[in-house]
Structure 1
Amino acid sequence: MSQKFVVVDLETTGNSPKKGDRIIQFGAVVVEHGRITGRFSSLVNPLQKIPVFIEELTGISDSMVKEAPLFEEIAPQVSDMLEDAYFVAHNVLFDLSFLQEELLNAGQEGFYGPVIDTVEMARILYPTADSFKLTDLAAREDLKHDRPHQADSDAQVTAELLLIMLDAVKSLPVVTIRELAKLSEGLKSDLHLIFDDTLNIKESRIEHLPEHLEVFRGIAIRKRPIIENTGSKPIEYPETQEEKKALLQKAFSDYEIRQGQFELMDLVYDSFRKSGHALVEAGTGVGKTLGYLIPAAVFSLESNQRVVISTYTTQLQEQLLTNDVPKLNKALGAAMKISLIKGKNHYISMARFEQSLREIEENYDTALTKMQILVWLTQTETGDYDELNLSSGGTLYWNKVKNERSIFIKTKHWETYDFYQRAIEKAQNADLLITNHSMLLADLVSEKGPLPDYEHVVLDEGHQFEKAAGKYFGKTLDYMSVRLVLNQIGLYEQNQLFYKLESLLNDGSVLSADRHHTFEINQLISDLLYETEDLFKLAGSYARKAMKNKNSGSKIHASMIPDRENRTWMALRTTAERFYFHLRDLVEALEKRLEDARKRPDRFSTGQMALLEEVVQVKEDLEQIRSTAKSLFTDENRYVRWIEADTRSMQNSTTIFSRPVDVSEYLEGQFFSKKRSVVVTSATLAVNHSFRFIKRELGLKQVLVEKQIPSPFSYRTQVKLVVPDDLPDIKSVSDDDYVAAITEHIISIAEATKGRMLILFTSNEMLKKTYNLIKESGLLEDFVLIAQGITGGSRTRLTRNFKRFDKAILFGTSSFWEGVDIPGEDLSCLIIVRLPFSPPNEPLTAAKSGLIKENGGNPFSELSLPEAILRFKQGFGRLIRTSDDRGLIFVFDRRLVTTKYGDAFLSSVADVPVEEKSITEIVDLIHRWL
């Protein structure tokens, strides 16, 4: 490609040239004939003060730009350079709008040539990248980026990235480039010129496809990997410590002996061999994953029996496959047959994707996502959605192409490329099968589940298995999801799906005489919209009345108790009945429409087939909503039902839940009693050195082994555990007074530790109040405050941002108490605001407590306390992740040292003495310790 590209980066005093912000540094790199041919950079005097934040970000100060030229002095040179060039930048609209303004103010012509946005380009060419920030992309491509947020350095790295991406475009198959060229017309930058140019060159030559690719029905796709049956070498279990050490040294060249890991290996291997269940708590740093993977693999190869490994989250599944399995293969020197399987909707349907590719695309997000998927198909072996990094609009599009039963779209020709079927076939041949708890539960319930037969299981994160089962057997109905489906179908006059369906079928030759008239169905949809509003409005007011005297902030949750004397309940119940009868009628009417369409499939084009498929999908969604609503309002004694809402946007946030009060009998009858050996493991299973609580929760009656393997870390020398003695007792003051008191402590501790701090709350309300008070105080202005539920993004994204800044404080609630891994320097201080007891009025806790009382037990000692202790252990485990970590834990809840049950918390965690100190002494301690 012989075009000229000028890659530009600017540093500025702010985000808006219209509001008077100015350039403080200009950097440009010229790329011609596939290489860098020139550079130009200059500091610029903005004739205004540089804000402190910008100075911290860029390292550019007022004194540095004082003698620098004004922009009008360098403007002619900038204009000359941009002549007949592509304007390229990372997030091009920002740099271009700024430069345009400055060029025009300096009396120059503006720039009106083609533009390339390297963010947009990277989204398409790196569809699986974790992040599209320049620093992250540079790291991905091993580019040296030593001065981020300095214009010359950023421009240089962006230019190098551009060259790599231009090569990546050339290496794509011609059929892929052809589709990309079509779709790129609607992009924000002029990438269609790049794709068109490349296409012209490639079409003039004979193409030799790379070995790993093939083209089917005009789409380039990665060939199915050949599963070689290597007849894995039989391996004997390493009996002695020396043999175990030698085995693990193959996986890690610098392996340190960990007695606990050897002990775990023996326990797992023996449980499988003796066909018994085991409960093994493996403390942080034991090396749990390889500790169970090695014996599971050896047992599987020796006995020729499959072993299933189940985790709570799909992220942990991925981690097993990408991090731990390669180490396992290295250690065993044998190619194990290992497979990972997820729910069907995780996989792409190639028939649906091909169908949607043939439709003309006008939506930006959808066009971009189609382009991402086209590139991804040349790379992926699994077709698994979790590999992709899609925008929220892209996620909506995925729902159209995910793997689901198709009635109108013909899928037969794509059968060989069915990624879900491939995953199932691979699972049938696997020695080790990795899945997650909800997939395991789905398999138990269905007659012919997706998992092959198995007798031996490792439940990792086993303390979550009961919760996963409750969620799986429970039901959830929320306002936004119902509205989303109803908006999709729309009223006739709204020109949505229902209008399109009627336009397609109403030409007289398709509909049978006895069918509903259009206006009847339209009335049904209209009534249903009304009933939906009514149902959730009533659910919200029922919750508000039930909670009227309880102080719970803006988040409310109220048990739903059938009561004929309660007028709000009776109105809610009646509306719910009308709601699901209307749903039934609408589902039946749509089903009849589809029946008529099915009789005449020859009448429809492929685009019309796709429309009918969408109607099938919506009809199934409505059917699902109907059955959920019915079960939520039918009296089943073994279930607890409740309503949750946020008073700040009552309607939109209202959700109705049901969960079984107790899943232990089901798990015992359908799972534990039917499997030969289940090893339940986690870093937190025992309460006060006993497994009684977890056994009762899981319904585990017969256990061969119960064992706690302590962490190898020296907590006495690595951790200080402090309870401030100058904070009020949590029960003796109002929430606001308590927040004010802890805020002062947090500020003092943050200033002393210089950030790197994780604060764990038990309520969103208290988190928000504390965060706002700290922000308002202005005392931590040079700290980056990252808060769950306030700062946008998933848990993973929040954690990643936290690691990026030196002076950062991360505020988290429930999901941050576990599963967040921040090793080393990134986290040096942990604050636990309250002991993590579940609120006694939380509906599920209240129902479980009621059941314990009925059976003559004590809800506090049998439920609330053990649950809180396990959560506390999880939080405690966030701080020390390696043998070099050091850190401080502050527990602001004085109950840890003033109550009898405080001892149960302390004896359940590592042996660390508790120190009680005032804030002044705490600050001294921090300075000495860190």
Structure 2
Amino acid sequence: MADSEQQADPRPTAASAAEAPAALVAAAGRALVCTAEGEIVAPSPSAARNLLTAGPVLVAHAPFTARRLDAARPARHPGLFDALELFAFVRPAATCAPTPSGLARALGLEVPETLEDQALALHMAVQALLAEAARTSGEERAHVARLVRQMGKAGWAWAGPLLGALDEGAEAPPAERARNAFAVWEALPRWEDEAGRGAPGTAAVSGQEARDRLARLVGRAAEVRPTQAAYAETAAKAFAPRAMEGAPNVVLAEAGTGIGKTLGYLAPASVWAEKNDGAVWVSTYTKALQRQIDRELDRLYPDPREKRARAVVRKGRENYLCLLNYQEAVGRAATGGSDPVALGFVARWLVATRDGDVIGGDLPGWLPDLMGGAFSGLTDRRGECIYSACEHYRRCFIERTVRRARGADIVVANHALVMAQAALDALIDAPDEDGVSEARTRLVFDEGHHLFEAADSAFSACLSGLETAELRRWVRGAESRRRRGRGLETRLADLIAAIPEDRPREKAEGALRAARARAADLPGEGWTSRIREGTPAGPAETLLAGLMAHVRARSPEGAGLAQEAELRPLTDGLSEAADALATVLDDLAGNLRALSGALRARLTNEAETLDTAERTRLAAAARGLDRRAKVMLPTWISMLRGIDADPPEGAVDWVSVDPIGARALDVALRRHLLDPMAPFAVSVLAPAHGALITSATLRDRELDAAQDGNWVSAEARTGARHLPLPAIRASFTSPFDYGAETRVFIVTDVRRDEPAEVAAAYEALIRAAGGGTLGLFTAIRRLKAVHERIAPKLEGDGLPLYAQHVDAMDVGGLVDLFREEEDASLLGTDAVRDGVDVPGRALRLAVFDRVPWPRPDILHKARRAHFGRRTYDDMLVRLRLAQAFGRLIRRQGDRGVFVLLDAMTPSRLLTAFPPETPVARVGLAEAVGETRAFLHRHAGDLP
């Protein structure tokens, strides 16, 4: 409670305090209500659920609150006041942890410690936000009022309080009534074309230059870390001039947690970029690390304007809001086809966002959750862009980001984007979608331990119901009122009509008509029901229905909704169905190639007359056609034509049935490579001049020790072994004293297949640590069972427990909760294990329910046979354990305990932990006692 202004009534339009909504907060099995007068009451669960449904009530994250009350997601109503919605509106493009505590921290208020304090804090947060809104002035104030009125007509609860704070009436003045407050696109800045940058230079970066730049980045006041400087000097070797085509300078650098590898590689990367007028692409696996690197770049470019010019976060097109999609959604709002409240939040965010990144950018991750999926469809859909034909082209976030990346020194991307673009470049000798090839001569792969799985996804093939239905939509566009999409005719008709010669134009128009006709043989609306019921329509659905029957016949009984089966020997009818679909796809691919050829002919024949915008659009359209006609469809056709034969050497084929949402099922014919690092080395590494591949867990020490320290595991999982020249290898030991700062316990008397015993163990260990626990599970079912048993008891004692796949919030939001609340605990699976960076006491205990053995599916069994059977399994487990253990100690002063609830843990897996780490096999009671004693010695405030 900072100033008198924040003491104002949270509802300025209310006649009295009694009209202000009561604040409702909930934990598992418990709810509290705080009235506007400050009275705290504890309603029954049913009364709390009724209040949430009928209101008036003030909450933070209504769906999450409902889940804590074991209630259905509440529908929007005029009495449901969500403080997070108010925050997102008043502070667009800002975020906070989605709790009363997170709101208080973001607003500079006193952070609540108890559930009672949280309820009071909600009122204070609302007072602060409405006071902030009241200070809005000028044209922005008038626009905000117009926007609030339109959202209010759709039932948004905050419309009245906000209009009161703005001192505005509910009815718009006559002059404003025809103006659409959602139409904010005209206020966005336009980008301009710039001259090309040209090829970068080839000057090297010396070790001393890297050290000097690092010293500048860390600052004089920072502690001296000789290992970080040595790491930076080694990383500089990736920026040496290449000596031979196809033989990049590859550096494999394993850097233990705490080395400071981000600044360690940004130092030589930034020196190289400046000396050579080129871009270094820094690639990550997780969005969390992208955000972390973006923050570290503030050290390199402290001036925000300079940072914007020289550093860019680059993602796939599907991450960015499409202004044309937004405009179309605004147009549908009047007829009920779009949610005006969600559009109001988008309008506020659009004029404040840095780069229009909806997924992992500056749009709060919890806002789409609150809107119930109303944001879906606003991002760029695959292949739908009409480029320069779009009226928003010069304001497009994607186009602006692409052009900024061309002139940037540092481009922060992700493994999937880098691999997809490189793979396409290798197969299609044509410019990128924007008409200009991007040079990626210097690469840094952080989270290098994930390169194998990223390459596995990038270089695999999947002919599925979803993919073929998506191809039909891409060709034909929307075919019902419930769907949306722009087909080829919408995107290409005017480009084809502009072909000057009659015969080529007529051939292209015929290819377009033929492509639309052939696409009608692909799965249409309702295909999931038809294949499940055995009534397929068309050759694609016929094959999918046959594949589903094949899997059902070959899979074990009781395998659940998700099933898989080996493809061969085929069941009756599959060969004929595959051949029929191959004919359709072959014909479709031919027509798409004809269309691409016609567009490329215009690029060549009209080179002297085409303006830049038209060239860009033609090149982008041709590239999209080529992606499908020359890459995707030939792979599918090959799989179908060879369905009777063994797969190509080094490949694995199988069939899967996978759930889509709650009821529908997808069917897929899949092909993966045993070793996806071979094409990764050819299409990504070989064209580059230098690449640094780095991680805290790049190699498996046990396997490498058996091979005389030859880095066998690292070279296999990074693609380095497929290159003509050997990689430079370097290992940098973590500065942490794991012997003093950590303990590992393997519990020997808990039966891992007894849910009650596992749940009791989790509860006892969480209590011993006083919260601050990351619980890791290898199966969602077991996670849910443990949460159900222990959450009410722990939360009743002031130890909040959150869970992935249980709580109505995305993983990022749950991690924010965990990070913000020091005594909270979080249960999760792989996404939590690999993407959590929680320094300090908020994470002091990690518990694995069992050894994370790989799932023995068809692909894994084939790779296991290829890479060394038990040796391969053990390597994967050790890497997973090492990653999980690495979550514990993130900075100097951290202390942590790691517990495995699996008496069957083999000793050979324990080399996953640092050599000096004490490891003990103990009973649960001893593990609990030792955990409490160890953490208590270093914290002094645990029970």
Q: TM over 0.5: same fold? A: yes
Matches within 5 A, 1:338-377: 338-363=311-336, 366-377=339-350
Q: Distance in 1 between matches of 2:158 and 2:916?
A: 62
Per the alignment, residue 292 of structure 2 pairs with 319
1:145 Cα offset (Å): 5.5
Q: Deviations over 1:483-523 (max 9, x none)?
A: 8999999999986569999xx9xxxxxx99x99999x9899
Q: Which amino acid aligns with 1:558?
A: E
Matches within 5 A, 1:706-745: 706-727=729-750, 736-737=753-754, 739-745=755-761
Contact conserved, 2:183 with 2:347, CA < 8 A, in 1?
no
Q: Which amino acid aligns with 2:713?
A: F
Q: Which amino acid aligns with 1:736?
A: D
Which of the residues 673, 690, 696 maps onto 2:716? Answer: 696
Per the alignment, residue 185 of structure 1 pairs with 153
Per the alignment, residue 98 of structure 1 pairs with none
1:696 Cα offset (Å): 1.9
For residues 262 and 478 of structure 1, do their structure 2 counterparts lie closer, same or farther at Cα, with a shift above 3 Å needed? same
Which of the residues 828, 834, 840 maps onto 1:812? Answer: 828
Matches within 5 A, 1:402-801: 402=380, 411=389, 413-444=391-422, 445-446=424-425, 447-449=430-432, 452-476=438-462, 496=482, 531-533=530-532, 534=534, 539=547, 542-548=550-556, 554=560, 556-564=562-570, 567=571, 570-571=572-573, 633=640, 635=642, 636-637=647-648, 638-645=651-658, 651-652=664-665, 657-688=670-701, 690=709, 691-701=711-721, 702-727=725-750, 736-737=753-754, 739-772=755-788, 774=790, 782=797, 783-801=799-817
1:439 Cα offset (Å): 1.3
1:304 Cα offset (Å): 3.4
Q: Distance in 2 between matches of 1:350 and 1:587?
A: 31
Q: Deviations over 1:848-901 (max 9, x none)?
A: 23434xxxxx3222x2222222111101101111111111112233454x55x3
Which of the residues 886, 892, 909 maps onto 2:901? Answer: 892
Contact conserved, 2:211 with 2:229, CA < 8 A, in 1?
no
Per the alignment, residue 293 of structure 1 pairs with 266
Contact conserved, 2:449 with 2:717, CA < 8 A, in 1?
no
Bigger drift between 711-720 and 668-677 goes to 668-677
User: Which ranges of structure 2 fall in alignment gaps of 5 or more residues?
Assistant: 1-10, 49-54, 64-76, 177-181, 198-202, 243-248, 491-508, 535-540, 594-623, 936-943
Does 2:39 match 1:43? yes
Per the alignment, residue 363 of structure 2 pairs with 388
Q: Deviations over 1:760-801 (max 9, x none)?
A: 22233443444455569x688645443332333322222223
Does 2:70 match 1:130? no
1:680 Cα offset (Å): 0.4
- Say what the alpha-carbon RMSD is for the aligned residues: 5.4
Q: Distance in 1 between matches of 2:144 and 2:833?
A: 45
Per the alignment, residue 925 of structure 2 pairs with 920
1:658 Cα offset (Å): 3.6
Which of the residues 253, 261, 266 maps onto 2:228? Answer: 261
Q: Distance in 1 between matches of 2:194 and 2:78?
A: 51
Secondary structure of 1:652's aligned partner: strand
1:588 Cα offset (Å): 13
Secondary structure of 1:172's aligned partner: helix
Does 2:881 match 1:872? yes
1:273 Cα offset (Å): 2.5
Secondary structure of 1:818's aligned partner: helix
1:406 Cα offset (Å): 6.1
1:652 Cα offset (Å): 3.5
Contact conserved, 2:145 with 2:168, CA < 8 A, in 1?
no
Q: Distance in 1 between matches of 2:479 and 2:669?
A: 31
Q: Distance in 2 between matches of 1:269 and 1:22?
A: 56
Contact conserved, 1:170 with 1:198, CA < 8 A, in 2?
no
1:216 Cα offset (Å): 10
Q: Distance in 1 between matches of 2:465 and 2:547?
A: 10
Per the alignment, residue 328 of structure 1 pairs with 300
Q: Distance in 1 between matches of 2:289 and 2:726?
A: 26
Q: Distance in 2 between matches of 1:908 and 1:90?
A: 43
Q: Which amino acid aligns with 1:191?
A: A
Does 2:255 match 1:282? yes
1:625 Cα offset (Å): 10
Does 2:821 match 1:848? no
Q: Deviations over 1:826-849 (max 9, x none)?
A: 12211223332213x312211223
Q: Which amino acid aligns with 1:666?
A: P
For residues 175 and 352 of structure 1, do their structure 2 counterparts lie closer, same or farther at Cα, with a shift above 3 Å needed? farther
Q: Which amino acid aligns with 2:749?
A: D
Instruction: Give the structure-2-normalised TM-score.
Output: 0.70
Q: Which amino acid aligns with 1:668?
A: A
Q: Deviations over 1:521-567 (max 9, x none)?
A: 89995895665434666655544543416x86x46442432313xx3
1:202 Cα offset (Å): 9.9
Q: Deviations over 1:339-359 (max 9, x none)?
A: 222222333343443454344
Secondary structure of 1:219's aligned partner: helix
Corresponding residue pairs, total: 787
Secondary structure of 2:698's aligned partner: coil
Q: Which amino acid aligns with 2:922?
A: K
For residues 172 and 484 of structure 1, do their structure 2 counterparts lie closer, same or farther at Cα, with a shift above 3 Å needed? farther
Q: Which amino acid aligns with 1:546?
A: R
Q: Which of 1 and 2 has greater Rg?
A: 1
Q: Deviations over 1:256-296 (max 9, x none)?
A: 12222111100011332264211001111111100110111
Contact conserved, 1:463 with 1:685, CA < 8 A, in 2?
yes
Contact conserved, 1:278 with 1:703, CA < 8 A, in 2?
no
Matches within 5 A, 1:202-213: none
Q: Which amino acid aligns with 1:711?
A: S
Q: Which amino acid aligns with 2:440?
A: Y
Contact conserved, 1:248 with 1:255, CA < 8 A, in 2?
no
Secondary structure of 1:674's aligned partner: coil
Contact conserved, 2:778 with 2:829, CA < 8 A, in 1?
yes
User: Which ranges of structure 1 fall in alignment gaps of 5 or more residues?
Assistant: 16-20, 28-40, 56-85, 95-111, 206-214, 505-510, 592-617, 729-734, 853-857
Q: Which amino acid aligns with 1:139?
A: R
Q: Deviations over 1:175-230 (max 9, x none)?
A: 6765664454223337289389489999999xxxxxxxxx9997322466999999
1:703 Cα offset (Å): 3.1
Q: Which amino acid aligns with 1:255?
A: A
Contact conserved, 2:319 with 2:379, CA < 8 A, in 1?
no
Q: Distance in 2 between matches of 1:727 and 1:557?
A: 30
1:437 Cα offset (Å): 1.1
Per the alignment, residue 77 of structure 1 pairs with none
Q: Percent identity?
A: 19
Q: Distance in 2 between matches of 1:430 and 1:14?
A: 47
Contact conserved, 2:585 with 2:633, CA < 8 A, in 1?
yes
Contact conserved, 2:384 with 2:474, CA < 8 A, in 1?
no
Does 2:208 match 1:239? yes
Q: Which amino acid aligns with 2:737?
A: S
1:663 Cα offset (Å): 1.7
Per the alignment, residue 802 of structure 1 pairs with 818
Q: Deviations over 1:94-117 (max 9, x none)?
A: 9xxxxxxxxxxxxxxxxx999987
Contact conserved, 2:282 with 2:445, CA < 8 A, in 1?
yes
Q: Which amino acid aligns with 2:891?
A: T
1:465 Cα offset (Å): 1.5
Q: Deviations over 1:633-669 (max 9, x none)?
A: 5544324334154699674376664433222221222
Q: Distance in 2 between matches of 1:349 and 1:884?
A: 45
For residues 129 and 489 of structure 1, do their structure 2 counterparts lie closer, same or farther at Cα, with a shift above 3 Å needed? farther
Bigger drift between 749-758 and 632-641 goes to 632-641
